[in-house]
Amino acid sequence: MMNQFFMRRSCLLLYCFVFGVVIDGGQLGAQDLYDPNVIQKIEIHFDQSNWNALMQAEKNGDENYIIAAWCKVNGVQFDSVGVKYKGNSSYRGSNKKNPMHIELDYIKDQSYNGQGDIKLSNVFQDPSFIREPVSYYILQNYMDCPKANFANVYINDQLYGLYTNVESINKRFLSNVFDSKDNTFVKCNPKQVQQYLPNLAYKGVDTTLYYGHYEMKSDGGWTELMHLCDTLVNHTDAIEEILDVDKALWMLAFNVVMVNLDSYSGSFAQNYYLYRDNNQRFASLVWDLNMSFGGFPNMGGSGGATLDILYNVNNSARPLIQKLLANATYKKKYLAHIRTISQEFFENGAYLTEAGRLRTLIDGDVQADPNKFYTYTQFQNAMTTDVTSGGGGGGPAMSTPGVQKFMTSRVTYFQSNADYKKVPPQINGIEARNVSSDGAYIAVQINESAAVYLSYRYKKSERFVTITMKDDGMSADGTANDLWYGAFIPGDGDNTQYYIYTENSNAGLFSPQRAEHEFYTLRFATSQASIPVGSVVINEFLASNKTTNTNSEGKYEDWIELYNTTNGDINLSGIYLTDNPDNPTKWEFPAGTVIKASSYLTVWADEDGKITEGLHANFKLSADGEEIRLLNGDGSVVDEVSFGAQIADISTGRCANGSGAFVTMAPTFGKANICTTGTEDTIEDNDWTIVPNPVISGFVIKSKKVIDSMSIYDLGGRKILQTNNGAFAESLSPGMYIVEINKGEARLKLVQQ
């Protein structure tokens, strides 16, 4: 006979997280916030009727956020978010459509697909609407940069217009690019435009002299920034020790090709970031491209499609340009980057494909935009026709060049420019020779006698090491003076990355031409770390740890549990763990890491390698979903899992333990996963079943045996309730509980309705 035990609990939902997937806040199917094929929908609701006046007052004052009651991103609602106006020339008090910064996590820990910041630009000074997203589309091929697309923005149910939606350069971005986020981080925008310039000029050892020119986004770093300026201006021969020169040259080349003068290269020397990577070098990050393609009205006296290819080369107020391009090799590399961008996107018209696709995508939304700064007819003609307009908010009349018309003239200028037309050596072949566990020779065939350099590294996080290649007949290069050049790479790492640079007295050439952003990969014939597929599996992970367990410093952090499915110990030295398929060697297990036979090993995904106790990966898991991979040294996948949105304090693990499919469950940190079988409507073990699931107002325990007792515990082991064969109506706060029935237990979670 089936015995039944009934629990009634109003205003609570009871989820039995032993199997299945639970949708939290509608985010399980949340789309990519920066999908270039989808126009996002962002809705903001203010309870304050004077919200616009409040936002303007803050913009003109301390620039604090105004709290909106809620914001919906593609239908997913977030309560109590921070909103403020942003921008300089693109903001005006008389505009109805002003650029905005939304912080979903201003008060609460909440995000959309991992994004807490939303940056919205109002398409000021761009009748084509595509300057910013197309610029980032091009730039991503040459250096790390934000993603961008479009969003329709509604405020209190009223459409305010079509905005560009650009990924924020924040700690999440830094972590993805640099595998760190807490180093010196500088926003190179002055507090007062024109009065201060973030131009990297050296002002002396007093760091307070730099305060008005930059915004320090990290806890400290003024001394490091001062040293950068000092080295750039006074000790340029040592600049590679403190500056990622290649990224700086790509930024300068991009600015000149695109005539992007609301940048370091222009009048205000602004709109870029600097981040000090783990190699103690500052890396440049480009930001704010809404006035590229010649859209910036102040051309600094040079302007238009014929902007000098060496613009500001003799300007001491632009030391990043003046000092770097005074070096003959850096100048040749800079010009090589300019040729690459121009040839890959503009001489062949490739940029027009993306521009046309985007304009077709947004055509109806531009037409419907009630607050656009240009007419729909001007939008339609903006690729081929210059547009003169007040520019929004009653500002002075400004002429914005037609994008295609402008770049056609720009290409004509390049092709007639003496520096641009200089011919570099040509690379006719690249070969890996004498590959062994000790290393390999790289041999390069050049069409003329030239200087040839090989740059290599073993991991993305490392600096490239540059060595000279020789045509001496002793470097696996054939015979001396046969125009084959060779150099040796030691076999100290797996998946070695390398590129070639060659120059003559006139010009230089990279191979691949997008180096250092792109590179060749060499796999040595070595005893690379390798374990069989399935020998170690990703057994469980917790991507939203709020209250479950802490690391050695008492912090609630994400974690990944591995399980050794074999009867022997396995050495994980040289094995990799990553959350980014594009960076397979993101985190390497330390030498000597062993996972015991039939045992568990847990890695904290907390981005904190400074902690010496336990294993700490250099990445965190996204509660909105991503991918985890365990890889061998040769890049082959040992195990992997892709997951969607996660629930706080609910892990995802294999059921059956070590071999089954991934299901949601109560966390079992470092232990076997507790699995039960079930269906869509029930959770059961051999003796009892809980129905229904989920629960609205109560649940029924159906038992094959007499229910002698039932107890409920919190996760700390404290008994909350004990009863025998009876109902109860005690209130339980939302949270995770252990329900014990006749000494058998399941973990359940109560969530406030």
Q: What is the pLDDT of residue 494?
A: 64
Report strand pairing: 615-617 vs 600-605. parallel
How do residues 400-438 score in pLDDT, each as one tens digit? Answer: 999 999 999 999 999 999 999 999 999 999 999 998 878
Place of tokens 């300057």: 131
119 closest CA partner among 158, 147, 89: 147
- Asked if residue 7 has pLDDT above 50, the reply is no
Give every CB contact of residue 264 below 8 A, 6+ residues apart in sequence.
188, 198, 199, 251, 252, 255, 270, 271, 272, 318, 320, 321
- Point out which residues pair with 588 in neighbouring strands: 576
Q: What is the pLDDT of residue 665?
A: 86
Q: What is the pLDDT of residue 602?
A: 96
**Which amino acid, 682?**
T
Check: CB of residue 634 under 8 Å from CB of residue 601.
no
How do residues 174-223 score in pLDDT, each as one tens digit? Answer: 988 998 899 999 999 987 766 899 999 999 999 999 999 999 999 999 99
- Asked if residue 729 has pLDDT above 60, the reply is no
How many beta carbons lie within 10 A of that of residue 354, not counting itself?
16
| Rounded (10°) angle between helices 403-416 and 351-368 | 160
737 closest CA partner among 752, 719, 722, 723: 719
Query: How far apart are alpha carbons 53 and 59 in whole angstroms?
Result: 10
Q: Is the peptide bond before 584 cis (omega within 30 degrees of 0)?
A: no
How much is the average pLDDT of 599-603?
A: 96
- Asked if residue 478 has pLDDT above 60, the reply is yes
Q: Is the dihedral of CA 255, 179, 246, 432 positive or negative?
A: negative
Query: How far apart are alpha carbons 649 and 305 in whole angstroms?
Result: 57
CA distances in angstroms from 640 to 486, 533, 537, 540, listed in the order given: 39, 10, 8, 11
- What is the reported pTM? 0.79
Q: Euclidean distance between the first and final Cα of the chain, in Å?
A: 34
**Which amino acid, 616?**
H
Instruction: Give one DSSP letter per residue of 499-552, joined into a string.
Output: EEEEE-SS-EEEESTTTTTS-EEE--SS------TTTEEEEEEES--SSS---T
Rg of the chain over all Cα atoms, to the nearest angstrom: 30
Query: How far apart are alpha carbons 546 and 552 in whole angstroms?
Result: 15
Give every CB contact of residue 275 below 8 A, 6+ residues apart in sequence.
174, 178, 183, 184, 185, 186, 282, 283, 285
How do residues 366-386 score in pLDDT, each as one tens digit? Answer: 999 999 999 999 999 999 999
Q: Is the peptide bond before 694 cis (omega within 30 degrees of 0)?
A: yes
- Point out which residues pair with 661 in neighbouring strands: 655
Query: How far apart are alpha carbons 665 and 673 in whole angstroms?
Result: 8
CA distances in angstroms from 586 to 237, 580, 589, 712, listed in the order given: 32, 8, 10, 42
How many beta carbons lie within 10 A of that of residue 660, not counting itself?
13
Check: CB of residue 80 under 8 Å from CB of residue 69.
yes
668 closest CA partner among 18, 106, 112, 42: 18
If pLDDT is split at 50, 70 and 90, which confidence band does 31 have? confident
Q: What is the pLDDT of residue 634?
A: 78
Q: What is the pLDDT of residue 192?
A: 73
Burial 723-745, CB ≥16 within 10 A → b, else e: eeeeeeeeebeeebbbbbbeeee
Compute the mean pLDDT over every residue in the chain, rounded to the nearest whole number: 86
**Which of 304-313, 516-525, 702-711 has the lowest average pLDDT?**
702-711
Query: How far apart are alpha carbons 98 and 83 in whole angstroms?
Result: 12
- Asked if residue 245 has pLDDT above 90, the reply is yes
Query: How far apart are alpha carbons 151 and 161 in whole angstroms?
Result: 8
Query: How far apart are alpha carbons 372 and 393 in whole angstroms?
Result: 11
Q: Taking the mean position of all CA atoms in its chain, how far away is CA 473?
A: 45
- Asked if residue 239 has pLDDT above 90, the reply is yes
Q: What is the pLDDT of residue 705?
A: 61
Structure tokens at 313: 């080369």
What is the percent of the chain with per-residue pLDDT over 70, rounded to a whole number? Answer: 83
